[in-house]
Amino acid sequence: MTLWGGRFSQPTDEDLRALNDSLPFDKRMYAQDIRGSMAYAQAIAEAGVITQEEAETLIKGLEQVLNEFDNGTFVFTDSDEDIHTAVERRLTEIVGDVGGKLHTGRSRNDQVATDFRLWVRDAIHDIEKLIVQTQAALVEQAEAHIATLMPGYTHLQPAQPITVGHWLMSFFWMLMRDRERLQGALQRTNISPLGSGALAGTPYAINRVKLAEAMGFDSISMNSLDAVSDRDFVAEMLFTLALLGVHLSRFAEDIILYSNPLFGFVALDDRYSTGSSLMPQKRNADPMELARGKAGRLIGHLTGLLTTLKGLPSGYNKDLQEDKEALFDAVDTLQKLLPVVTAVIHTLRINKERMLAALDEELLATDLADYLVKKGLPFRQAHHVVGEVVRVAEAEQCKLSEIPLPRLKRISELFTDDVVEVFDFEAAVTRREALGGTAPSSVATQITQAKGLLNT
């Protein structure tokens, strides 16, 4: 028997049942559902709806239901439409008719919103822990390669020399913002809708603030009609996870490129690369391609939910049931992905020689312009002069440093003997020591700050 069968003379069609039932996916919220019900039993006792004794019977019964779930002995029946129905059905089997009093003044509309908020709250903590581990791996490698030189790119064209530490730390800060966003999402998630009823609120004298506190919520929702249909916390979480996915995808793209033999800057550990069934020489960066691929899936979940929400009329609508699979999958995806990304970083081999070999003196063209600036030339003119120098090197097919001084002087009188000092990659990197720059000293400052942010 369903929870709402009274007004119907025929049972629900089987195909509709299969479409309508959310149990297959919402059963993972059993602990949150039971926790909410325990708090609710106490709240309706305090409101005088049931006796304290009845509340205790309900709570003890709910404890048993929780145990059955925890040790895998809970048996679902055909009539269990969703997790809320299943828990109440089993509770009533255990405690008898008093089980039927638990739902007084409550609707599955405020119940599901409560359960899901509790679930998301836990997920935020789990995901953040995993991000911290990824960040720790980045810090560890950045520290090991704080002064290792590599080409930095803009437009994927060689731009200026940077340090490997700087490159790796750039992803640390992206992930830091993801953590901050999770914390922001937590604030807006940790609000109790319980006591909103189906849409209009509850006629019973429930102390909603106390009820919220019992479930560890920070505050309560202030409008029951909004509260039962508010899935902003899900959308926000999906956005946060999608952007996290985008960050991992961008990291992945760098690794895919840099591990290509044409670059050869990095190599994935054997445990984290895969071969080809046909081509014996292949060493593919599959985990990184998966990271890149999963970002699309995460973005899909976000756009899917926003599309579901955009046309909904006021109050609860069954469309809202679509919120769960999207977020469950987003969280599951990242719980699988993040540890692999972390391990890839931990075990990544950095090929210093290949990085060094890729440093062309053209990457010092900006430094050459800065050299002229120091001699008093306005930067715009210096830029133009060095452009000519680069053109000469290209025409002569030589390095910038191989252009004879007299030839340089014909372009600008400001070039003197000391110009050779410009052609030093390490010096170029070391000069960029202002905070946030690529100099090892500046990266060290980043790393110190970052370490402080790892201890949560």
Name the residues that contact ligand ARG, by CB under 6 A: 22, 26, 82, 108-109, 112, 316, 318, 320-321
**Smallest distance from ligand ARG to CB 237, Å:** 16
Helices and strands in the chain: count of H runs, count of E runs = 18, 6
Distance CA 359, CA 363 (A): 7
Conformation bin of residue 97: beta by default, left when phi > 0, alpha when psi is -120 to 50: alpha
Q: For ligand ARG, which is the closer residue by CB, 83 or 248?
A: 83
Least spacing, CB of residue 75 vs ligand ARG, in Å: 20
Cβ-based nearer residue to ligand ARG, 295 or 320 = 320
Q: How far apart are CA 125 and CA 131, in angstroms?
A: 10
Out of 155, 219, 277, 301, pick the active-site residue. 155
- Whichever of 40 and 258 has its CB closer to ligand ARG, that residue is 40
> Do residues 268 and 356 touch, judged by C-beta distance below 8 A?
no
DSSP codes, 129-149? HHHHHHHHHHHHHHHHTTT-E
Please give the structure tokens belonging to residue 201.
């609120």
Nearest to 192 by CA among 305, 58, 418, 36: 36
Of the pair 92, 321, the CB lying nearest ligand ARG is at 321
Alpha-carbon span 362 to 423, nearest angstrom:
9
Closest separation in Å from C-beta 331 to ligand ARG: 16
* Residues 29, 119 contacting (CB under 8 angstroms): yes
Q: Which is nearer to ligand ARG, 22 or 342 (CB)?
A: 22
Among 41, 60, 30, which Cα is nearest to 106's? Answer: 41
Please indicate whether residue 229 is annotated as part of the active site.
no
> ∠ at Cα 35 (112, 201), nearest 5°?
45
Of 219, 276, 314, 441, which residue is the catalytic one? 276
Query: Nearest approach, Cβ of 230 to ligand ARG (angstroms)?
Result: 13
Active site residue 155: yes
Residue 316 CB, nearest approach to ligand ARG (Å): 6
Residue whose CB is less far from ligand ARG, 23 or 246:
23
Q: Which helix (H) or strand (E) holds 112?
A: helix 108-144
CB of 135 to ligand ARG, least distance (A): 34
CA distance 132 to 138: 10
**Nearer to ligand ARG among residue 155 and residue 318 (C-beta):** 318
SS (H, E, C) 392-441: HHHHHCCCHHHCCHHHHHHHCCCCCHHHHHHCCHHHHHHHCCCCCCCCHH
What are the structure tokens assigned to 169, written together? Answer: 């730390």
Alpha carbon distances (Å) from 406 to 126, 310, 361: 65, 70, 19
Instruction: Find, among 75, 3, 66, the residue nearest to 33 by Cα.
Output: 66
Minimum distance between the CB of residue 34 and ligand ARG, rounded to whole angstroms?
16
Distance CA 206, CA 114 (A): 16
Active site residues: 155, 276
